[in-house]
Amino acid sequence: MKEIKLNVEGMVCTGCENRIKKALSIIEGVKKVKANHKEKTVTIKGSENIDIEKIKEIIRDLGFEIIDK
């Protein structure tokens, strides 16, 4: 199982976490999504062929910013 961890700015509450989890959980191949507004991270687990660019696009479309570290 593949794991992707992204640093995401703009999450301020559990409502933000839930919006991200709901939006990403419908992507083909995604098995589990964990969002943490305190740590400013989103972790996605799923099949090897998860489309990371699609995940980033959805997060941005929700109004959040992905930070490359």
The secondary structure of 10-48 as a DSSP string is ---SHHHHHHHHHHHHTSTTEEEEEEETTTTEEEEEE-T
Alpha-carbon distances of 2 from 25, 36, 47, 49, 51, rounded to whole Å: 15, 19, 6, 8, 11
Confidence label for 9 from pLDDT (cuts 50, 70 and 90): very high
- Please report the pLDDT score of residue 28 as a whole number: 92
- Please report the pLDDT score of residue 35 as a whole number: 98
Please tell me the pTM assigned to this model.
0.92
pLDDT at 23 > cutoff 70: yes
Mean pLDDT of 55-67: 97
Q: Where exactly are the structural domains of the chain?
A: 2-67
Considering the domain 2-67 in this protein, what is its CATH number? 3.30.70.100
Confidence label for 3 from pLDDT (cuts 50, 70 and 90): very high
Rounded CA-CA distance 45/68 in Å is 19
